Structure 1
Amino acid sequence: MTEQPVGTVTTSTTAPMVAVTDLRHSFGSGERAVHALRGVSFSIGRGELTALKGRSGSGKTTLLNLVGGLDNPTGGSIALDGTELAGLDEEARLAMRRDRIGFVFQSFGLIPVLTAAENVGVPMRLRKVPSAQREERARTLLAMVGLADHADQRPGELSGGQQQRVAIARALANEPDLIIADEPTGQLDSETGRAIMQLLRAVVRSEGVTALVATHDPTLMELADRVIELQDGRIVEAAS
């Protein structure tokens, strides 16, 4: 049996959806530099739900931003479905984020003046999907997340849990390969948070999408296929 490097998570999938190798990221330079990630390596297979845990400042959000192509690492590499992010120009990175990655944020990130269906349709507008097709898919996705009767309501008319369901539906709009979620239950009560976590688990199974979710919620850790723990920018634990 080949010994794995410290801080590396292995996967049984031969072609991982996400492959991170010796990833490093620092803010600032010299003696004042803050090293957010210190040689992180792991891979995630297609259709896996991976929970990323760690205290505030452990590097979770930095890691999500890098995997999502929102920022560039100081060192190391990230490949999504075999495509190295470092080899993409800004236009190609934008297309990757738009077409292949869905984002779910703690603060929901919905546009207040748009209805739930219109919010779900925003990513499809960016891809210039025809109106009728866009509206049909938006309503299909809202039904999937249990909001078929709320399609015409605006965010201010929805509860926090309902808003996060809309956000999940929006993340699925362009049929992404990967969902990245940063503390998706951070603003929700425990019961609502559990429902959202169960929904994410169901979505991963039904849609065959891969998910990387930063969370403090033990519910998701129970539902996840694996848990990766970060501490001071390093992986300290990985459990299936």
Structure 2
Amino acid sequence: MVSVRGVRRSFGTGAATVHALQDVTFDVAAGTMVALVGRSGSGKTTLLNVVGGLDKPDAGSVVVDGTEVTTLDEDGLSRLRRESVSYVFQTFGLIPVLSAAENIGVPLRMARTPVAERERRVALLLDLVGLSEHAEQRPGELSGGQQQRVAVARALAASPRLLVADEPTGQLDPETGLEIMALLRGVVESEGVTALVATHDPVMMALADRVVRISDGRTTG
């Protein structure tokens, strides 16, 4: 599903240059969950951004679901993010004025999915993340864990092939974080999605099919 070869990414110039990624090479098999593990500043977020098409590397190649991401123009990248790749961040990123159901349905509205199909998909996802009874509540009326569940459901709305999650439990207490990690493990199996998850949580590492460690911009595992 994901093939990264010889990826490099630096920021700044001269003595101030930061080598965020250095000759990174690894693969993610379809239908698996891979935990990307490393301390703060190790390059995790940069690597996720490059894989998901939010940033371009200085060198190397990234292939996602058969598409060479690093050669896409803006239209191609938009299509990739709309059809193949979805994101979950630790800040939730929900729209405050919309209900849980409406937030989940946003990607489907953008894709102009017919109303009946959109409503069916939203209902299915609300049930999947255990929030059917909270469909009409807005983010401010939900707990942090519930908001992250909505964010996961929204990321799955358009049936992506790859789910990229950057520290999805970073703002949650340990018990709630465990629930979200178990949910992500479950959606990999029930939705057939592939997941690349940046984390430092040992429980997430245990739930993953594989652990890739990153340190000073270099990966192992």
TM-score by length of 2: 0.98
Q: Deviations over 1:151-204 (max 9, x none)?
A: 100000101111110001001000000000000000111011011101100100
CA distance in 2, matches of 1:89, 1:104: 23
Superposed, which structure 2 residues align to 1:1-240 within 5 Å? Answer: 17-235=1-219, 237-238=220-221
Q: Which runs of 4+ in 1 moved over 6 A?
A: none
3-state SS of 2:40 partner: coil
Q: Is the 8 A contact 2:48 2:164 kept in 1?
A: yes
Q: Which amino acid aligns with 2:37?
A: K
RMSD over aligned Cα, in angstroms? Answer: 0.8
* Shift in Å, 1:28: 1.5
CA distance in 2, matches of 1:31, 1:73: 20
Give identity over the alignment, percent. Answer: 63
Q: Is the 8 A contact 2:21 2:43 kept in 1?
A: yes
Q: Which amino acid aligns with 2:60?
A: G
Q: Structure 1 stretches of 5 or more lacking a match?
A: 1-16
Q: Deviations over 1:129-154 (max 9, x none)?
A: 12222122111101111001111000
Number of aligned positions between the proteins: 221
* Shift in Å, 1:86: 2.2
3-state SS of 1:64 partner: helix
CA distance in 2, matches of 1:83, 1:136: 30
Q: Deviations over 1:96-140 (max 9, x none)?
A: 001111110001110000000000011111111122221221111
Q: Which amino acid aligns with 2:90?
A: Q
3-state SS of 1:139 partner: helix
Q: Structure 2 stretches of 5 or more lacking a match?
A: none
* Shift in Å, 1:32: 1.7
3-state SS of 2:170 partner: coil
Q: Which amino acid aligns with 2:204?
A: L
3-state SS of 1:35 partner: strand
Q: Which amino acid aligns with 1:216?
A: H
CA distance in 1, matches of 2:189, 2:119: 24
TM-score by length of 1: 0.90
